[in-house]
């Protein structure tokens, strides 16, 4: 649906790499161009008309985001992306509130950005990382989380939707359990916020990280939503202009309030405005509708792939638009290079989840990740190419 | 080179590469090639005695180009002196980067003479060369 909104889709290719980044609708590009062509100016303190306009647009995006994920505008921190958001949580909050032997629950299916900061924190202050075991379908259940929780568990940090297998975690149940047991709950929403409704308050989330570029927005901008009382206690990772109210020779300084105290320096202004436009665009379509459509499309793909014998599919049952597979006997990258010959864009590799191999016994997969602008014809083209894959080496060599 | 012959040589070496599988032997020098640009991940072990490459073995997961290039290169390098190996690698790299090189020295590795036209495959073809160089550096 809505294909006509995307200038890149005028060209002849099938884009199935949406978990890596999404295409941009013209609206988003236009609003950013407007900033560069008509009202380039810095935010804060501008007294001329178009600086005031920029400021208004920039600030208003917090309201758009608060409506989008159901939080307060004061709980919205602009970041450079989900990676920065998660690093801020770990090094700005957790580092100052956790101590040696406190336990963090994560899983081996997490993206590097939800593992490495915790590993670094473990190295620095001695917190312990515990990996929730996944079931035979590589899914994670509340019961398996419960089996990992001890009196020392302080944090549960999980992707809502994982980026390799696309399994959807029941964050509302996990969040409720965490809140009841005084455990902080961080959700990596990079793969879910773009694709389905996410409710910060209803899911008892304490910190939510996501990126703009995976949801029709520009690169270089993302969001950290944090519970206001926690943000109050969180330390900035960066210090500089825009985030302080005063500083003196005697080493005293005062910072601005949440969330501005986390936004030192000139932020990506055009990108924030672009992100706001992207979110408005998604809300107009409807997140429920987007999710339903992607599931329908994935089911159609699975029904078509049934007849292809040499495919190994790893995540048939996952309720998202991500499909991970291999062509039997073909290295994942050779398969993605093969599909490129048919102008089909997919991704091959471990998808930044380098520990998932311990659970799956397979290092690399080909990943098809869909978005609402994919259509049945895209799926048919992929299926046709895969049907012909017997001659893969004639094509790639 | 005829494309069918080229494809056949690459495919043979991909599907049945020589010297795949590592062994327990401390007299070998080792290198891991966990490519940063792609997902190939190969381990190499090389035995050098009296300045001569006695054996090269490898293992791991990699694409058709990396694996076949490794297999062909192993056959080319075993029995050569370190200086001869350096010369082969130099010419091989020049070929991959579409610079001038000596065909005589390259031998069967010539099957990759057009790989430079596919930028996302260059590092795959260079992987075994980089691995051997990494090991040779350890000699100094």
Domains of chain B by start residue, with CATH: 3-137 (3.90.1010.10)
Looking at the annotation, which residues of A are catalytic?
Answer: 352
A-interface mutation test, from B63, B69, B71, B122, most A Cβ less than 10 A away: B63
pLDDT at position A363 is 81
> Are A334 and B7 within 8 A, CB to CB?
no
Query: Among all residues of chain A, which has the CA nearest to that of B62?
Result: A331
pLDDT at position B48 is 94
CA A289 to chain centre: 19
| Nearest alpha-carbon partner for A361 in A352, A347, A350 | A350
Residue at a domain's end among A284, A302, A334? A284
Within B20-124, strands assigned E span 29-34, 41-49, 52-61
Q: What is the pLDDT of residues A178-220, one digit of tens each?
A: 999 999 999 999 999 999 999 999 999 999 999 999 999 999 9
C-alpha to C-alpha distances, A10 to A1, A26, A95, A252, A381, nearest whole angstrom: 14, 12, 48, 57, 16
More confident residue, A65 or A163: A65
pLDDT at position A395 is 85
pLDDT at position B35 is 65
Task: Examine the pLDDT at B92 and tell me if it is beyond 70.
Answer: yes
> Does one domain contain both A325 and A268?
no
> Does one domain contain both A215 and A68?
yes
- Domain range for A331 is 286-396
Q: What is the mean pLDDT of residues A95-115?
A: 96
> Are B11 and A333 within 8 A, CB to CB?
no
Residues 6+ apart with CB under 8 A from A375: A1, A3, A297
> Does one domain contain both A201 and A223?
yes
> Does one domain contain both A116 and A256?
yes
ipTM: 0.81
CB A332 within 8 A of CB A365: yes
pLDDT at position B37 is 60
- For residue A168, give the DSSP letter: B
> Are B39 and A333 within 8 A, CB to CB?
yes
Q: How confident is the model at residue A350 (pLDDT cuts 50, 70, 90)?
A: confident
Write the residue in B14, B39, B41 that is nearest to A348 by C-beta.
Answer: B39
CA dihedral A294, A76, A165, A14 (to 10 degrees): 50
Give φ, ψ of A364 to 5 degrees: -125, 140
pLDDT at position B38 is 66
Distance CA A275, CA A26 (A): 13
Count of domains in chain A?
2
pTM for the complete prediction? 0.92
> Are A331 and B7 within 8 A, CB to CB?
no
> Does one domain contain both A311 and A255?
no
């Amino acid at each position: 649906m809505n294909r006509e909104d995307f200038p890149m889709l005028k060209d002849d290719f099938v884009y199935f790499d949406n978990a890596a980044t999404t295409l941009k609708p013209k609206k988003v590009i236009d609003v950013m161009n407007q900033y560069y062509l008509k009202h380039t100016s810095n935010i804060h303190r501008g007294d001329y008309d178009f600086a005031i306009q920029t400021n208004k647009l920039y600030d208003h995006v917090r309201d758009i985001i608060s409506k989008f994920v159901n939080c307060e505008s004061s709980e919205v921190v602009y970041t450079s992306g989900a990676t920065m958001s998660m690093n801020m949580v770990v090094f700005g909050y957790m580092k100052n509130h956790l101590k040696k032997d406190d336990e963090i629950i994560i899983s081996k299916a997490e993206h590097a950005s939800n593992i490495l900061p915790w590993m670094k924190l473990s190295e620095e202050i001695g917190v312990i990382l515990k990996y929730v075991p996944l079931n035979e379908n590589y899914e994670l259940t509340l019961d398996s989380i419960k089996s990992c929780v001890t009196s020392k568990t302080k944090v549960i940090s999980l992707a809502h939707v994982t980026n390799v297998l696309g399994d959807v975690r029941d964050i509302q149940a996990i969040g409720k359990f965490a809140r009841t047991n005084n455990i902080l709950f961080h959700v990596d929403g990079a793969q879910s916020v773009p694709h389905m409704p996410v409710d910060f308050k209803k899911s008892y989330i304490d910190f939510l990280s996501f990126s703009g570029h995976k949801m029709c927005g520009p690169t270089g901008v993302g969001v950290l939503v944090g519970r206001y009382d926690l943000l109050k206690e969180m330390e900035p990772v960066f210090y500089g202009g825009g985030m302080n109210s005063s500083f003196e020779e005697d080493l005293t300084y005062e910072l601005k309030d949440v969330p501005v105290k986390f936004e030192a320096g000139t932020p990506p202004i055009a990108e924030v405005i672009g992100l706001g436009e992207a979110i408005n665009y998604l809300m107009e379509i409807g997140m429920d509708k987007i999710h339903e459509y992607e599931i329908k499309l994935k089911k159609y793909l699975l029904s078509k792939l049934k007849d292809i014998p040499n495919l190994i599919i790893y995540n048939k049952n996952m309720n998202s638009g991500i499909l991970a597979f291999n062509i039997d006997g073909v290295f994942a990258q050779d398969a993605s290079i093969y599909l490129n010959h048919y102008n089909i864009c997919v991704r091959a590799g471990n998808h930044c989840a380098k520990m998932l191999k311990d659970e799956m016994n397979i290092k690399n997969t080909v990943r098809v990740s869909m978005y609402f602008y994919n259509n049945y014809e895209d799926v048919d083209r992929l299926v046709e190419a895969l049907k012909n894959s017997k001659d893969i080496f004639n094509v790639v060599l | 080179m005829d494309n069918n012959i080229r494809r056949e040589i690459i495919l043979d070496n991909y599907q049945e590469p020589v010297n795949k599988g590592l062994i327990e032997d401390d007299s070998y020098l080792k290198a891991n090639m966990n490519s940063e640009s792609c997902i190939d991940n190969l381990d190499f072990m090389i035995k050098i005695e009296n300045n001569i490459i006695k054996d090269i073995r490898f293992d791991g997961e990699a694409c058709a180009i990396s694996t076949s290039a490794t297999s062909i290169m192993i056959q080319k390098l075993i029995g050569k002196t370190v200086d001869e190996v350096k010369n082969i690698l130099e010419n091989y790299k020049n070929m991959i980067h579409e610079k001038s090189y000596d065909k005589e020295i390259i031998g069967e590795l010539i099957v990759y003479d057009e790989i430079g036209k596919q930028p996302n495959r260059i590092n795959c073809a260079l992987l075994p060369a980089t691995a051997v160089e990494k090991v040779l550096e350890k000699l100094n």
